[in-house]
Structures are given as C-alpha cells and as structure tokens.
Amino acid sequence: MIQPSIDNLDIKIFADGANIRDILDLNSNRLIRGFTTNPTLMRKSGIQDYSQFAREVLSQVVDKPVSFEVFADDTEEMINQARKINSWGKNVYVKIPVLKTSGESNLEVVKVLAFDGIKVNITAIMTSERVLEFSQVLNPEVPSYVSIFAGRIADTGRDPVPIVEKSIEILEDNRNAEIIWASPRELLNVIQADAIGCHIITATTDILSKMEKIGYSLENFSLDTVKMFFDDAKASNFKI
C-alpha cells in the first residue's frame, strides 16, 4: 500500500479564512494555490470594510485565485455587486450562493455573470442535482468553480464522496470548470478528495497546521501520544 505524502497530492489546496496576516503569510507557502473567504469568516475576523480588506489582500496576492462573496439577496443587486467585485482584480472569482435566503435558485445570476465573462464560484452546493442544474449555464470559455460543501454533507451523516464524484462526472466536459471540496472537517478529507480526482480542496489554518502529518508513521504517532499522556500526568503531579 502506497503511503500518503504531500508530494504525491494532485489536488490543489486553497486556504480558507479572513485573517489578513494568515493570508499574507500563506501566500508564500508552496502548498497554497489559492484563497477563499466568506462573510461569516470575515465577521469572525472583525472585518468592517469589505472593499478595503479585499483590496489589501489583492495588493499582495496577485498570481493566485481569490474568491470573494456577494452578500446581496436579490438578483439585480447580486449582479451589481458581482461586477464590482470582479473589477478588483484579474485573479478574482466571485462567489455566488446556490440559493437566495428564500430558497430561490440563483441560476439566473450565474447565467448572466458567466456570459459576461466573469469568473464565478458557485458556493454552498450540497447535491449533485444542483451541480447539474448550474452546469447548464456556465460559460465553458470562462473559468469557474463549483463548491461542494462536503464537510456539511458529512455533518448530516451522509458520505460526501459519491456526491463529489458525481459532480466531477457532470462537469468533465467543461475544461474550465473545477470542483472544490469545501468545508473539510479533517486532514483525511484532503486524501479522500485527492483520491477521487477532485480539483481543489479548501483548508482552514487548523487543517493546514496538520499537513506535515500526512504519511507520518503511526508507530511514531502512537509513541508521541503515550509521551504526551505521561508528561501531562507528571506535570499534574497525579498520585494514586
């Protein structure tokens, strides 16, 4: 059995977050091929000026794709926001949620933007049926991302692998469309996504910090764990 290794991965790793210092540090990391963020991550990081934050990122990240999300909830304003975001840089992908908060599909938004030549990242998708729906309006001449929230699928007790595999199959004839395994929950997801030929996986700093463990000896890991338990018991001065 071939042991997993960072050097054997074909999948592209995108850093997911909204901490400007982390983004700028990760920009020089050879493993990181792009960046994604969203309004929730930005709020958690205390971002107050969306445009200023985005422009600061793009002033430093100039040769890797960066995805920024619209936050409007009606078709016309989503299209307007998307066009403004697109104007910020040639490496920008505009994230469009699969649905409005009403549950209405954003198919028309994506259709307009895709055929305007805007690179879109359709986000928060959780079924291959939605992938099939949006595949019909993507512009095959314009790069695009389709983000499957595999981690959230797994949170419902469902295996996301068949859904991602089916989505890859649906888009196989669109050479400019790439599937993102989004919201991974553990390092194993990187290996799973790579094994099925997924194009991209997003990763938070927590998962990225574990990347060096790919392929690590399980015997050594066992010993590390035993030593940790021993040291913590000793430091606590436990007695029986």
179 by Cβ neighbours in 10 Å (0-12 / 13-18 / 19+) ranks as buried
Instruction: Name beta bridge partners: 123.
Output: 97
| CA gap 158, 164 in Å, rounded | 12
233 in a domain, yes or no? no
pLDDT at 21 over 60: yes
CATH code for position 170: 3.20.20.70
- Position 2 confidence tier, pLDDT thresholds 50, 70, 90: low
239 in a domain, yes or no? no
Residue 7 is predicted with a pLDDT of: 78
| CA gap 69, 1 in Å, rounded | 41
44 in a domain, yes or no? yes
- Give the closest residue to 190 by CA, choosing from 1, 2, 8: 8
- Mean pLDDT for 107-124 is 98
158 in a domain, yes or no? yes
- Position 6 confidence tier, pLDDT thresholds 50, 70, 90: confident
| CA gap 37, 34 in Å, rounded | 11
Residue-wise pLDDT tens digits, 82-112:
999 999 999 999 999 999 999 999 999 999 9
- Give the closest residue to 146 by CA, choosing from 192, 199, 100: 199
Residue-wise pLDDT tens digits, 183-233:
999 999 999 999 999 999 999 999 999 998 999 999 999 999 999 999 999
Domain coverage including residue 181:
9-211
179 in a domain, yes or no? yes
Q: Based on the structure, what is the number of domains in the chain? A: 1
Residue 5 is predicted with a pLDDT of: 76
- Mean pLDDT for 155-161 is 98
Q: Answer for the pair 124, 148: CB distance below 8 angstroms, yes or no.
A: no
pLDDT at 1 over 60: no
- Write out the catalytic residue numbers: 95
- Position 178 confidence tier, pLDDT thresholds 50, 70, 90: very high
72 in a domain, yes or no? yes
The helix (H) or strand (E) run that includes residue 190 is helix 188-195
Residue 153 structure tokens: 């699928």
147 in a domain, yes or no? yes
- Mean pLDDT for 48-53 is 97
pTM of the model: 0.94
